[in-house]
Structure 1
Amino acid sequence: MRRADSFPMPQRFSRLAAACGLSALMLAGAAHAGLLFDDKENAKPELAAPVPPPFNPDKTIAVDARVGRSLDVGIDPDTLTSDSDGVVRYVMVARTSSGAITATYEGVRCSTAEVKQYARHYRDGDWQPVAEPRWQSLFSGGSVNYSLMAAKAGVCQDASSGGSKQRILQNLQNDVMRNMP
């Protein structure tokens, strides 16, 4: 591999410009998402996650009503907690058009833009704990990342949680993106 100073000046400049441009795009994306975050060293120590709470799939607040797919996803407001460790925990419920229901018990740490899944619930079953729950970037999800949508819809405000439980629920219910095509 060649050293950077062995490239002609225009090529070195174009590589530096490309790297700066990519960094600016990533920062702009995080800023647009309302999720500018600290480094992980500043995160508060995580409290032990409580036992997954019971949930009601008929009471959920939609995370993204724009999806237009055969899947409805929302947060049961009775399960949401905003804890002193800066982690917002909730049950995310997904219902298919045929009525099948699954749920996840997860936490979002807004200060680091991470999500951790603690347990999964499948139709007509009990909670199944995740074997080794780990913090993952909110930005590393698949094609539809409902945890990121929840964070952007009101679970997070900038690099902190959306506030008290009542404030977060109000943010989720008033999500400005809810009625957009």
Structure 2
Amino acid sequence: MRSTAAVAVAVLLAACGSAKRGEGNYLLDDIEAQRNLPDSGWEALRPLLPPVPGPSDTLLPVDSLNVNDPFHYGVDPRSVQIAPGQIVRYALVSQSDRGSRNISYESVRCGTREYRLVALAAPGGAWQRAHNDEWQPVQANTVQAVLRAGVLCSGGGVATDKVPNLIARLRNWSQYSDFTAEQNKP
């Protein structure tokens, strides 16, 4: 009986070892293939934009972990989207200690550590195209760095392939973030 089980295991292992590596057979292949896919432009994204978060909408708070940052941040869970190219999109609300409120719709490209502004909320609550909508490196000690490093992204790709799972990670962002408050103290 044991020898039959051993033979079966040996046959399975041999079959696995003889399988040819093909496109998409490995997670890293998928990530590499998608890493440089072009992102959608403004005209393609415009009809897909979520509603602009209002003052009474529930936001998921996230900190930049920069002790000198005068802003408090929140992500609108209704806005989270996963796009081709290892991209996650979200609406970010930034509120200063003095009460000013800025709302942006952003994309973070997990594989290249970049982000871009897609749209900004105009007075009156409509989205308008961001003038500086080019990809930029994610800077250290920013809320984008916190979101990219472990919360929305992991291992060069999107942390999960399901939006509800990304929202759960946002709810508990400090458990997933690769940054800690200790790392950012002066």
How far apart, in 1, do the equivalents of 2:86 and 2:65 lie?
28
Question: Contact conserved, 1:39 with 1:112, CA < 8 A, in 2?
Answer: no
Structure 1 length as normaliser, TM-score?
Answer: 0.64
The answer to which structure, 1 or 2, has the higher relative contact order (CA under 8 A, 6+ apart) is 1
**Change over 3 Å in CA distance of 1:147–1:40 after alignment to 2:** farther
Could you tell me which runs of 5 or more consecutive residues in structure 2 were left unpaired when the two chains were aligned: 1-30
Question: Contact conserved, 2:64 with 2:141, CA < 8 A, in 1?
Answer: no
What is the letter of the counterpart of residue 60 of structure 1?
L
**Change over 3 Å in CA distance of 1:174–1:104 after alignment to 2:** same
- Runs of 4+ aligned structure 1 residues displaced above 3 Å come to 38-42, 65-70, 122-126, 177-181
Q: State the identity as a percent.
A: 23
Question: Contact conserved, 1:110 with 1:160, CA < 8 A, in 2?
Answer: yes
Q: Alpha carbon RMSD of aligned pairs, Å?
A: 3.0
Instruction: Report the counterpart of residue 155 of structure 1 in structure 2.
Output: 152
State the number of aligned residues.
Answer: 141
1:46 matched to 2:39? The reply is yes
Could you tell me which runs of 5 or more consecutive residues in structure 1 were left unpaired when the two chains were aligned: 1-37
Question: Contact conserved, 1:102 with 1:123, CA < 8 A, in 2?
Answer: no
Instruction: Report the counterpart of residue 62 of structure 2 in structure 1.
Output: 63
SS at match of 1:167: helix
What is the letter of the counterpart of residue 58 of structure 2?
K
How far apart, in 2, do the equivalents of 1:65 and 1:146 lie?
4
Instruction: Report the counterpart of residue 99 of structure 1 in structure 2.
Output: 99
Higher deviation after alignment, 170-179 or 87-96: 170-179
How far apart, in 2, do the equivalents of 1:65 and 1:157 lie?
18
